[in-house]
Homo-oligomer: A and B are copies of this chain.
Amino acid sequence: MRKVAVVGVGMSKFGELWDLNLRDLVVQAGINAIKDANIDGTEIKALYGGTMASGRLIGQEHIAALIVDAMGLNPIPATRVEGACASGGLALRNAYFAIASGAYDCVVVGGVEKMTDATTAEAVTALGGAGDQEWELLQGATFPGLYALMARRHMLEYGTTEEMLAAAAVKNHANAMHNKYAQFHNPITIEDVLHSKKVADPLKVLDCSPITDGAAAVILMDLEKAKEHTDNYVEIAASAQASDTVALHDRESLTEIRAAQIAAREAYRQAGITPKDIDVAEVHDCFTIAEIMAIEDVGFFPKGQGGRATLDGETKIGGTIPVNTSGGLKACGHPVGATGVKQVVELTWQLRGEAEGRQVADAQYGLAHNVGGSGATCVVHILKKP
């Protein structure tokens, strides 16, 4: 396999962006990435787009063709990849394969979701399509409900507390204060989280990631070509993915996401490193309990210790392993298809030393953990500073 590098990254603002449509968001992120890469658009030979539910949210399928058209990049091949909330990570992974195979030297990946054109009820129903429609959603199990089951079980088995969950949200809001693209710029306290409105016990509003509009873009290049082009590249040291049952009731355990464990193990093998070597991570905190499980599943902390570690500040910037410096899904926002791409944008900034106000010192390795649904899909990427 040829090796692959990130040579440019860009984002749109994340938030409730009433005056921007999907095309506007994608073009903002794409142009930022092309400028950052310092390339001409004609050097890009293929496009991958990650989006989860554009069909239901804005009535539009065939999203990659729409993006390539909006970006003025016709007639290059354009392909949409979908894996629920892991759509962005999967799009990146398939762009990586296209370059690794030798088919193309330079490919752009765009992740996008335009969510606020739908009503909240429509959005919640569309997001439910990430779970098992016949066995979960039709029975009334929304995603907060599914993750609440996991949280309750984690509390029972490991003594995880609501304060520990809240600490993840508090940290992520603090990190987002330094990210100009983030949806929220308001610091919150554990008390704020504990007293916010219950959504699905024990999860409260401030345990949940928001409904967000946004886009992110990454430009990938064959590693050898990247070295000729710039000194400011970041290498993709690993790309790994695994699956699990779609329905939660088919799993052996509710307190771990097996697909994440398998994908992480494979990613460390590819990169030739261990969890201790990771300096900064973006993990899939669609709910606070998801961040707690994630930092256990990828091996930063033993199973059951993620809550305590979070409350103790080990995942803060300056802690043993800074997690979600972007603000995470919780505070940077969660435009579903964009999230997996945004994680890699943030890690690239961190590894290049450009994460103003939230920089992790001397970051060499970054890990992105992107989950679809309640864990039926997980994709893990490891980025490495050359």
Task: Give the interface of A toward B (CB within 8 A).
Answer: 1-2, 21, 47, 52-56, 58-66, 68-69, 73-84, 90, 93-94, 97-98, 100-103, 125-126, 128-134, 137-138, 241-246, 250, 258-259, 262, 372-373, 376-377, 379
CA distance A62 to B79 in the complex (A): 16
> Contact between A243 and B81 (Cβ–Cβ < 8 Å)?
no
Central interface residue in A53, A101, A102, by most chain B CB within 10 Å: A101
Contacts of A77 in B (CB 8 A): 241-243, 379
Q: How far is the CB of A41 from chain B (nearest CB, A)?
A: 14
Closest B residue, CB atoms, query A266: B77
Chain copies in the assembly? 2
CA distance A329 to B70 in the complex (A): 30
Q: How far is the CB of A375 from chain B (nearest CB, A)?
A: 10
Q: How far is the CB of A125 from chain B (nearest CB, A)?
A: 8
The 3 closest A-B pairs by CB, nearest first: A77-B241, A61-B129, A101-B101
CA distance A185 to B148 in the complex (A): 52
> Contact between B242 and A76 (Cβ–Cβ < 8 Å)?
yes
> Contact between B78 and A62 (Cβ–Cβ < 8 Å)?
no
CA distance A303 to B262 in the complex (A): 53
Closest B residue, CB atoms, query A94: B94
Contacts of A101 in B (CB 8 A): 1-2, 97-98, 100-102
> Contact between A244 and B74 (Cβ–Cβ < 8 Å)?
yes
Contacts of A242 in B (CB 8 A): 75-77
Contacts of A21 in B (CB 8 A): 134
> Contact between A62 and B244 (Cβ–Cβ < 8 Å)?
no
Q: How far is the CB of A1 from chain B (nearest CB, A)?
A: 4
CA distance A1 to B1 in the complex (A): 9
CA distance A2 to B77 in the complex (A): 20
Contacts of A138 in B (CB 8 A): 59
> Contact between B80 and A137 (Cβ–Cβ < 8 Å)?
no
Closest B residue, CB atoms, query A63: B82
Known: A56-B55, A82-B80, A100-B101. A245 touches B62 (CB 8 A): no
> Contact between A79 and B81 (Cβ–Cβ < 8 Å)?
yes
Q: How far is the CB of A281 from chain B (nearest CB, A)?
A: 21
> Contact between A69 and B103 (Cβ–Cβ < 8 Å)?
no
* Interchain CB contact (< 8 A) of A55 among B55, B68, B76, B250: B55
Central interface residue in A103, A131, A138, by most chain B CB within 10 Å: A103
Known: A97-B98, A129-B60. A246 touches B79 (CB 8 A): no
Contacts of A58 in B (CB 8 A): 133
Contacts of A262 in B (CB 8 A): 75
Q: How far is the CB of A52 from chain B (nearest CB, A)?
A: 6
Known: A55-B56, A133-B59. A65 touches B372 (CB 8 A): yes
Contacts of A126 in B (CB 8 A): 55, 61
Q: How far is the CB of A191 from chain B (nearest CB, A)?
A: 36
